[in-house]
Amino acid sequence: MPPLWALGYHQCRYSYADEASVREVVEQFAAQGLPLEAVWLDIHYMDGYKVFTASPQRFPRLAALAQELSERGVRLVPIVDPGVKAEEGYAVFEEGRRRQVFIQDDRDELLVGGVWPRRAVWPDFSREEVRAFWAEEVQKFAGTYGFAGIWNDMNEPAVLELGGAEPPDKALPLTARQGALSHLEARNLYALGMAEATYRGLEALGRRPFILTRSGFPGIQRYAFVWTGDNESRYEDLALSVPMLLSLGLSGIPLAGSDVGGFGLDAEPELLLRWMWLGALYPFFRNHSALGTRRQEPYAFGEPWTSQMREALRFRYRLLPYLYSLARTAHEEGLPLLRPLGLHWPGEAAAWRDDQFLLGEALLAAPVLRRGERAREVYLPPGGWQDFWSAERLEGACLHRVAAPLEHLPLFQRAGTAIPLTEARYPTRTARWPFLCFRVALGSEVRGWVFEDAGEGEDVGAWSELEGGFDGRRLELRFTDRSGHARQGVVAEVWGVAPPTRGQGYAYHNGLLRLDVQGGGAWVAWD
């Protein structure tokens, strides 16, 4: 189960290279009223590219910076690569060498190559004692500096230099020794062992570990989120993120994302806006760009783009109760957050599309994936559907041509579902929502669920549910609250209906019907 804050918005760049750069980003987000959950640090925060260190020049007060930002609700997440600098006197290298944790070559000598530090060695995560060593270093490092999570990169492992040249496939020699195994036998397990060790180190600090990894193996979902690596600022890469994330979800990795805006090349404002709206539905929502590329923070292009991206971010934060509940479902049952339509309609050939997806069972998204498009074709599976924005009711089992303005992405709610939303408040503090608003799409049966807990730690939490039905003339809804915490309000909203003639616990204005279900239930009827 991830910590709640991991589902918020993350901002990263290669690289926010010093404390002033980090503060500038945080201040800009605050000044523009943009939600921000975490800022990420790439390799330039380190002292000479030595893992588990901080540069005394660039980040002389890193622990104080992390504490300062934490008080504002913003977390720091640093990159930690497996390549350890081979430098005399460097404590991590010296201790690792003493404990014989590093990979050896086929002559049983220390294998030395290059990655960001040009003389580097690699821990052998196939061995339990090495995973224990790394967990100790992670615990000390994150505890000392106050980091909220760890970013595992270059963990295939990637190698940039061996014997004075770039090796084939940027890989260690397959004849290298990992305990009783060769690297040929153990390579695909490398990132999994590193993630397990990192998880154990963070877990020892008494909170839910948050790890992002570039590489993995079956079982990686036990330890880490996954992102799809170095994409580029192109519509082709925007479009490709959909089948990639759907494939990861079907492969047992429910918590994943792609670099929003694209990592390489220069982002254009329209592309970034479209990607921000798509990213607002990713399980993992991080904007990330490369060294030397145009800045692409959501405020980078000015108005009207900043305001439009703010709406995408605010929508993400309104969705958090639904996303968190889906994360709990993934935790309990393994079902991914993002799902291909064919997962729920396997017999519908038209449902197997790679340009649409479901978020849970209730929401169908049809993102805009081509430059300049202001409309697109959408396939709605059998059953009733409702346009999330206009409340127009649409029949399924057919194609529809729908508008796709820049202001949002085409989004449709399945009839009979109730989606838990909340106010767009940030930063996130707890997954016990004082105010809940269930968005209802009418159906003969109506059901919706929400999972709540502290958002952190080992809190057991509880599921609450909204249920009821609509027979064409009468709508009745009941809310069963098992959370055990105080509420400011729980309502159900139905858009696009005529004013009811009678009922209990409701208000109506301009096509919006709102039912107060905090006390247990409410009903309306149309005579």
- The helix (H) or strand (E) run that includes residue 41 is strand 38-41
- The helix (H) or strand (E) run that includes residue 244 is helix 235-250
Residues annotated as catalytic are 153, 156, 230
- Whether 376 and 433 have beta carbons less than 8 Å apart is answered as no
Determine the pLDDT at residue 58: 98
Distance CA 30, CA 189 (A): 41
Go through 309-338 and write b for each residue having 16 or more CB atoms within 10 A of its CB, e for each that does not: bbbbbbbbbbbbbbbbbbbbbbeeeeebbb
Determine the pLDDT at residue 481: 97
Cβ atoms < 10 Å from Cβ of 388: 22
Written as six digits, the tokens of 522 are 């409410």
Q: Give the ranges where 254-408 is alpha helix by DSSP (H).
A: 269-279, 305-318, 320-333, 341-344
Phi, psi of 483 (to 5 degrees): -70, -35
Whether cis (ω within 30° of 0) applies to the bond prior to 289 is no
What is the full DSSP assignment across 207-224? S---EEES---TTGGGT-
For 166-188, the pLDDT digits (tens) are 998 999 999 999 999 999 999 99
Q: Give the ranges where 251-288 is alpha helix by DSSP (H).
A: 269-279
- Percent of the chain past pLDDT 90, that is, above it, reads 99
Average pLDDT, the chain: 97
Determine the pLDDT at residue 70: 97
Question: pLDDT-derived band of residue 409, with 50, 70 and 90 as boundaries?
Answer: very high
Task: Assess whether pLDDT exceeds 90 at residue 241.
Answer: yes
Task: Assess whether pLDDT exceeds 90 at residue 297.
Answer: yes
Distance CA 121, CA 513 (A): 64
Determine the pLDDT at residue 426: 83
- The helix (H) or strand (E) run that includes residue 101 is none
Question: pLDDT-derived band of residue 427, with 50, 70 and 90 as boundaries?
Answer: confident
Determine the pLDDT at residue 455: 96
- The position carrying tokens 């849970």 is 360
Task: Assess whether pLDDT exceeds 90 at residue 132.
Answer: yes
Closest residue by Cα to residue 470 from 513, 525, 519: 525
**β-strand partners of 417:** 447
